C-alpha cells in the first residue's frame, strides 16, 4: 500500500515540476521580448512583474517539485522489486530523467541571468529551447507506459520524428506571426 502512495505522490510532483518547466521558459521568452521591444515606462513595469512571477514559479513550484520528484523516484525503486533487477527500460528512463535535470540546471542559469537584468537568448531560440521539456516528457512517458513492448530503436525514431514535427510547427507559427504584422 505504501508503494501506491509513493507512486501517487511521485506522479503529482512530476506534473507540478513539468508545469514549472513548461511555464518558466515561456516567462523567459516574454522577458526577452519586453527587453527587446518595449519602451519605458512599460518596459520597467512589465519586467518587474515578469521577474517576480518567474521567481515565484521557480522557487515556489519548480525547484521544490524537482527535489521531491528526485526523492520519490528512488523510493519507488527501493520499495518495489526493481532494485534487485533493474529492467533496461528503467535505465533508459533514468537517463532521460538525468537529461531533464540537466535541462533544469540550464534553465536555472538562464533564470539567474534574467533576475540579474542580463539577457539570455533571443525569444526565437528560447521558443525552441522551451520544447526540450516536451520532448523529454514524451520519451519518459512512452518508456514508462510501454516498457519493453517497444524497441529502443523504434522509440528513438518516433522521438526524432516528433522532434522534427515540433520544430516545423514552431517555424510555421513564427511565419504566421510575422505575416500578420
Are 81 and 145 spatial neighbours (Cβ–Cβ below 8 Å)?
no
Average pLDDT of span 50-78: 95
Domain boundaries, the chain: 2-179
Q: What is the pLDDT of residue 53?
A: 97
Cell numbers standing for residue 109: 542559469
Percent of the chain with pLDDT over 90: 52
- Please count the other Cβ atoms lying within 10 Å of the Cβ belonging to residue 100: 22
Please give the model's pTM, rounded to 2 decimal places. 0.83
Dist. CA 146–CA 87, nearest whole Å: 13
174 is in an annotated binding site: no
Farthest CA pair distance, the chain: 61
Q: What is the DSSP string of 103-155?
A: HHHHHHHHHHHHHTT---S-HHHHHHHTTHHHHHHHHHHHHHHHGGGS-HHHH
Dist. CA 108–CA 118, nearest whole Å: 13
Q: pLDDT tens, 102-126?
A: 999 999 999 999 999 998 998 888 9
DSSP H/E element including 58: none
What sign does the dihedral 93-94-97-99 (CA atoms) show? negative
Q: What is the pLDDT of residue 151?
A: 64
37 is in an annotated binding site: no
Q: What is the pLDDT of residue 89?
A: 82
Mean pLDDT computed over every residue of the chain: 89
Are 82 and 74 spatial neighbours (Cβ–Cβ below 8 Å)?
no
Dist. CA 90–CA 84, nearest whole Å: 13
Are 132 and 100 spatial neighbours (Cβ–Cβ below 8 Å)?
no
| Confidence band of 153 (pLDDT split at 50, 70, 90) | low
Q: Is the pLDDT of residue 149 over 70?
A: no
Amino acid at each position: 500500500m505504501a508503494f501506491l502512495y509513493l507512486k501517487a505522490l511521485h506522479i503529482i510532483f512530476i506534473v507540478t515540476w513539468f508545469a514549472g518547466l513548461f511555464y518558466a521558459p515561456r516567462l523567459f521568452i516574454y522577458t526577452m521580448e519586453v527587453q527587446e521591444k518595449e519602451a519605458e515606462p512599460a518596459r520597467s513595469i512589465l519586467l518587474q512583474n515578469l521577474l517576480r512571477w518567474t521567481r515565484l514559479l521557480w522557487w515556489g513550484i519548480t525547484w521544490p517539485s524537482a527535489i521531491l520528484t528526485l526523492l520519490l523516484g528512488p523510493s519507488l525503486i527501493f520499495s518495489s522489486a526493481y532494485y534487485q533487477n533493474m529492467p533496461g527500460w528503467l535505465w533508459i528512463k533514468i537517463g532521460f530523467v538525468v537529461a531533464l535535470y540537466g535541462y533544469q540546471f540550464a534553465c536555472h542559469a538562464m533564470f539567474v541571468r534574467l533576475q540579474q537584468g542580463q539577457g539570455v537568448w533571443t525569444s526565437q531560440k528560447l521558443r525552441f529551447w522551451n520544447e526540450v521539456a516536451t520532448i523529454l516528457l514524451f520519451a519518459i512517458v512512452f518508456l514508462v507506459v510501454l516498457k519493453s513492448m517497444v524497441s529502443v530503436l523504434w522509440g528513438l525514431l518516433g522521438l526524432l520524428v516528433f522532434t522534427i514535427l515540433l520544430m516545423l510547427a514552431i517555424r510555421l507559427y513564427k511565419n504566421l506571426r510575422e505575416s500578420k504584422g
